Amino acid sequence: MPNFHRITLGVACKFWHKMRTFDLTLIIYNTYDRRNSYFLYINIQDNKEDSIPDSFKAKQISLLSI
C-alpha cells in the first residue's frame, strides 16, 4: 500500500446543565479531501486461449472522499 497522509480536525465542548454534563464533538475527517487508499486489489486479465494471464493491474479503493 502506498504511503498516505491526511488531516483530521476536531473540536470538543463540554456543557453543564443542572447536575448533568454534555459533550458536543465536531470532527472533520480527511479535511483536505485526499483520495488515500482504503485497500488495493489486483485485477487479472487473461487470454481466453490459454491460462496464462495477459496483464495485472492494481486498483485502489478510497472511502469518504467528497
Give tens-digit pLDDT for 4-55.
677 788 999 999 988 899 999 998 877 776 666 667 788 877 767 777 777 7
CA-CA-CA-CA torsion for 32, 34, 38, 41, nearest 10 degrees?
A: 170
- Considering the entire predicted model, what is its pTM? 0.41
Q: Tell which wins on pLDDT, 24 or 59.
A: 24
Q: Tell which wins on pLDDT, 17 or 61.
A: 17
pLDDT at 33: 67
Contacts of 54 (CB under 8 A, 6+ apart): 45, 46, 47
Q: How far apart are CA 50 and CA 54, in angstroms?
A: 10
pLDDT at 43: 80
